[in-house]
Amino acid sequence: MVDETVTLPQPPAEVAESPFILLCNEWIRYTSEAFMARQQQQQQQQTDSKSNPGAAADGTTDGRPVAAGAGEGSSSSSSPSSLSSADVDGVMVALEEMGFMLGGKIVERLTASRSRLQDEKDIVKFICKDLWNYLFHKQADRLQTNRRGGYVIQDNTLRWLRHMPPMPDTAPPHKRPMAPVSVICGIIRGALTHLGLSASVSASVAEPPCCSFSIKIPS
Amino acid sequence: MATVYVFVIVGKGDQLLYEADLSSAGKRDDSPHLDQFILHAALDMVDAQVFHTQQMYLKLVDKFNEFFVSGYVTAGHIKLMLLHKHRNEDNIKNFFQEVHDLYIRTLLNPFYEVNRPIYSSGFDKRVKQAGKKYLT
């Protein structure tokens, strides 16, 4: 591997700190880790079976993102359109994990200038207002709470889903826009965990661009 | 005779993330490793004080013989603690705020995972510069 470092000019502050850039950085980190893992695996395969040329051919399709696919283990993601459902699930989990790491970091930045939050309700309100403002330049539309310690955040015009065509409720799962929504779930979960509330977050997209995220806090 | 300043960053779960000796030049007259004992014991005091205030800067957290420990807790419960002999509240508060700023910049690095030790030499250099600026 060639070891080169390139010095790039400093980007302007608004660009450097935008959530999109942070997400791209997380993507770089994730794919680079997956690529290194895959390289190690290939090296092992090559040393195990030196007489098998098939292993080398498989190694040339490296961790190039395939539509929504991240470098997924050794599953055969050879053609772009034939992602099996196991691959898709793996991708969603990967996206959620990236969102998780992002959530903690974003929250640390946003709370730097204000006093600390200690109440569960304050933390969830902070997510609806400040975190949403940072990500989407607007606040979440509705926050509901149900008695059993859960919250539902609703957003009627989620920016990331703005350009999707309307789809009926009965659309099959692989046509639903789960990728951006997984990232947001991860971000919310990371933010909550970083502030001290471990919770589970799930999302449902009834009809884009309207979607809701439900937070369950085990007590 | 050096003025003693020892600075640590402790993460969630009491993991040590960073440690620096920011004392001014000269020989230190305290026993070796005593500063680590004092800071370790002060962790409990920081955790107790956190619930009494909404501020990030918890002024004086603990005292041992002639040593004082000041604390500062970020929103993600990362504790910045400073061991010192002389009380110097304003300067210490500014120092903590500057290190908090540096910590946030470390977080922006996608290869840095939260709650891991900080090995960056740039961070180290800047913390030492901040120490020179505010503490001595």
Give the CATH number of the domain where residue B90 resides: 3.30.450.70
Average pLDDT, rounded, for chain A: 73
In a domain, A12, yes or no: no
Our CA-based measurement puts residue A116 at a distance from the nearest CA of chain B, in whole angstroms, of 5
Our CA-based measurement puts residue B12 at a distance from the nearest CA of chain A, in whole angstroms, of 9
Question: Helix, strand or coil for residue B130?
Answer: helix
Q: Nearest by CB to B104, which of A26, A109, A115? A: A109
pLDDT band with cut points at 50, 70 and 90 for residue A77: very low
Note whether B110 contacts A28, CB cutoff 8 Å.
Answer: yes
Average pLDDT in the A123-134 region? Answer: 87
Distances (CA, A) of A123 to A69, A105, A118, A213, B68: 33, 15, 7, 15, 32
Q: CATH number of the domain that A60 lies in?
A: 3.30.1380.20
In a domain, A10, yes or no: no
Q: Token pair of A176, please?
A: 């639903």
Q: Nearest by CB to A107, which of B50, B54, B76? A: B76
pLDDT band with cut points at 50, 70 and 90 for residue B8: very high
Point out the least confidently predicted range of A50-59, A91-100, A184-193: A50-59
Average pLDDT in the A76-96 region? Answer: 65
- Does residue B111 register a pLDDT over 80? yes
In a domain, A13, yes or no: no
Note whether B114 contacts A107, CB cutoff 8 Å.
Answer: no
- Does residue A76 register a pLDDT over 50? no
- Does residue A66 register a pLDDT over 60? no
Highest mean pLDDT among A65-74, A165-174, A204-213: A204-213
Point out the least confidently predicted range of A66-80, A120-134, B91-105: A66-80
Question: Helix, strand or coil for residue B1?
Answer: coil
Give the structural domain span for A117: 18-216
Note whether B107 contacts A28, CB cutoff 8 Å.
Answer: no
- What is the pTM assigned to this prediction? 0.73
Give residue A6's pLDDT: 66
Q: Is the minimum CB–CB distance between B54 and chain A shorter than 8 Å?
A: yes
In a domain, A40, yes or no: yes
B-chain residues within 8 Å CB-CB of A194?
A: 75-76, 114
Q: Is the minimum CB–CB distance between B89 and chain A shorter than 8 Å?
A: no
Give the structural domain span for B46: 5-135
Total domain count, chain B: 1
Total domain count, chain A: 1
In a domain, A28, yes or no: yes
Distances (CA, A) of A202 to A32, A74, A144, A151, A189: 27, 28, 15, 11, 9
In a domain, A4, yes or no: no
- Does residue A74 register a pLDDT over 50? no
